Structure 1
Amino acid sequence: MFTIARFPLSFCAGLRVSCCVSLLLPVFFASSAWAQTGVVTPSDTHSSAQHEQQSSENSQSSAVAELLQKMASVPHTLNYKGSFTYQHKDNPALQSYRILHWVENGVEHERLQQLNGTEREFLRSGKAIGCETLGDQLLQGKVSQLGANIARLDQLYRFEIRGPERVAGRDATALLALPVDGFRHSLLLTIDNETGLVLKSWLVDESARALERYQFIDLELNPDITSLQQQPAAQTQRSTISQLSECNPAQLKQPEHWLIDWVPSGFAFVGQRKVRNQIEMLMYTDGLTTFSVFIEPTDAAIPEGVAQRGATLAVMDSLSIQGKNYRITVVGEIPVVTAQKIAQNIKGR
């Protein structure tokens, strides 16, 4: 029913989101006559080692928070063009894409061009600079203003800075995000130090297998906007307007007409809209991962099962409410067990 497709994080409706990490560890310094006289005791050695470890953890937490915040905010304001490769586990062949991104009159625009095979192009526009979606707010640690209990990313993932890296000729930092539960995948992101752009991304399953990866091979900042706009159009074009998420929400909302009794801890409802007339789409994010639920009334037989392409899977199920039948499809970069449990816990309001 649905074509499973996967595109870079920067193209996915502005949902590249996360929570500002802040692991605040208390540091206790004990003074003693032994320390003042220069005699080192076992307890002094332990205290010193503990202090060094806590200082190191606090420093890494601050560095992680800075990376995530930069990733959430700076790329939206940039003009750039670049090329990247994409590969997923079901097709080892490398695919190549070109991305053009610019800001005009305070609104983001993007062109994503497929360079291998069929000539196709995807156009995205509509997000105004200053429009902070729920995802953007989570990325920048603005959780408290939402007026709701929502998990921080540091409660959902364990972050590790893996050190400096050089991608597409640019200095970057590798950041590993390991989930604390079995309801999401691991991510290894290489983030540009200057711009916050994700230059390389690996999505990894629970068996440490790479589900998909993409990597920039060149990046040019501040190109001429007119040249980006006037590049010849592809034979096939598709346009999207990224207005699914409400700008600057002050509180969390719930879907209209539908109740999802279970989603993994930390996932929040981002927005909904109708696609193909009768199909309702609900979108959720935890900050680094997204999934969507498609609900369609139907009189036809409803197949049940799982389809997967790379990291993106679709779980299909059925739902009957007051004599009406609905086809339920959960699509996202989540494990099968997560998608199945979501699909089995949907009710009408």
Structure 2
Amino acid sequence: MFSCHPSKKVIRRRFFSLLKSHLLALSLFICLSPAAGATESPEQISQLLSRMSQALRERDYRGLFTYEFGGALQTLQITHQVTQGVEHEHLEYLNGPSRRVERKGRDISCLSAADQVLRGMLPALDGNFHGLSQHYHFYLRDEQRIAGRTAIVLQIVPRDEYRYGYTLSIDKETSLPLGAMTLGVNRRVLERLQFASLDLVPSDDWVEGVEATARVKRTSWTGCESPSEVLGWDLSWMPSGFVSAGSSVLPDVGELKLYTDGLSAFSVFVRPMEKSVAAQGKAQRGATVAYMQQQMFNGQPMTITVVGEIPARAAQRIAGGIRQVSAEVISNDH
């Protein structure tokens, strides 16, 4: 619940505007309990995840998929093409208001941590399995049939309470993810994504003109060489295994830092508190949580917001551990 001066409706609208950029993050397809015995070999799982990452970056594909979260169900069409080594992606909402997201301009060799987490439906995982195995158990399950294709089912079980569990259904032929589901406490389904159709043969008419009624958001992927901003604050605690994936200062948003453990991701926003809004508390939509609180920085009230695909208890603890960093410490670190 929120404690604030404006209406709860206004505060929730502010929170969910932050959540929109995270709604296509990690998800899982099927709810299965782990079997007794050891997890799969690190080499076997690492190769599977690496092939999936490579397929997401380098293959041409177009498909229809459903995305279920927080009691809502959306149908979307995604088109991904690589032209002369550069990625182009189009995401169109087929129900509700007419919307389309277009992204382009990233070289397929670009593998920065931030891009791996924020690039699209699922993050890239190249070469990071051995670190992940310290925080997750991995199990291979029976094959499944999705969108008329055979999929390998990989169940991912967290080793602690500060991250979610996942199951990925990975196409046996192409290594593209065909289905996904995010599981919370007691394996409760938080988000579900599943392809209904998938076309792997590129066509010149894949990228069609956008109707005049459609709202189109056009963005470019950040280059691998983009430097991170040096900010005057840091985290005193975060779940083990998470590392920095970049930082920046965004207009109308504030100072931002990104973190990932390779599977999960969260962002921390810090900005001066608006006089008309003094809110604190949490909001959740599917697997994405936003937790907000206030803190004084050098006598100035600041609003701290943690947004990501992590349990609420983790977001609250992260927000409560923001600390200022002196100029001397920043200079020594950089």
TM-score category (smaller protein): 0.7 to 0.9
2:132 match: 153
Matches within 5 A, 1:119-268: 119-134=98-113, 136=116, 139-141=125-127, 152-224=131-203, 226-233=204-211, 235-243=214-222, 246=224, 256-268=231-243
Q: Specify whether residues 64 and 278 from structure 1 end up closer, same or farther in structure 2 by C-alpha distance, changes over 3 A only.
A: closer
What is the CA–CA distance in structure 2 between the aligned matches of 1:278 and 1:142, rounded to whole Å? Answer: 31
In structure 2, give the amino acid aligned to 1:307.
A
Question: Alignment identity in percent?
Answer: 36
Displacement after TM superposition at 1:255 (Å):
5.4
Q: State the secondary structure of the residue aligned to 2:127.
A: coil
Alpha-carbon distance, 1:316 to partner = 0.3
Q: Which runs of 5+ in 1 are unaligned?
A: 13-52, 144-150
Paired letter, 1:141? G
CA contact (8 A) 1:78 1:222 kept: no
Q: Give the distance between the partners of 1:204 and 1:241, measured in 2 at CA.
A: 31
TM-score, normalised with respect to structure 1: 0.77
User: CA RMSD of the aligned region, Å?
Assistant: 2.6
* Structure number with bigger Rg: 1
**Unaligned runs of at least 5 residues, structure 2:** 1-13, 28-36, 117-122, 326-334
Tell me if 1:8 matches 2:24. Answer: yes
2:128–2:262 contact (8 Å) kept in structure 1? no
Q: 1:165 to 1:255 in 2, by over 3 A?
A: farther
Q: CA deviation at 1:229?
A: 2.4
* SS in structure 2 at match of 1:163: coil
Indicate which of 84, 88, 93 corresponds to 2:65. Answer: 84
Give, in whole Å, the separation in 1 of the partners of 2:134 and 2:148: 34
Encode CA deviations 1:239-286: one digit per residue, 9 max, x unaligned. 22221x74599xxx8953221111100111101223234612211111
In the TM superposition, what is the alpha-carbon distance from 1:214 to its structure 2 partner? Answer: 0.7
**Which residue of 2 is the match for residue 63 of structure 1?**
44
Evaluate the alpha carbon distance shift between residue 7 and residue 80 of structure 1 in structure 2; reply closer, same or farther with a 3 A threshold: farther
Aligned to 2:303: 327
Q: TM-score, normalised by structure 2?
A: 0.80
Question: Counterpart in 2 of 1:109?
Answer: 88
Q: Residues 303, 199 of structure 1: CA spacing in aligned structure 2 closer, same or farther, 3 A cutoff?
A: same
The whole-number CA distance in structure 2 between the counterparts of 1:341 and 1:260 is: 10
- 1:8 is matched by which residue type in structure 2? L
Divergent runs of 4+, >4 A: 135-138
Q: Determine the C-alpha separation between the residues in 2 that align with 1:94 and 1:78.
A: 27
Could you tell me how far 1:63 is from its partner in structure 2? 2.6
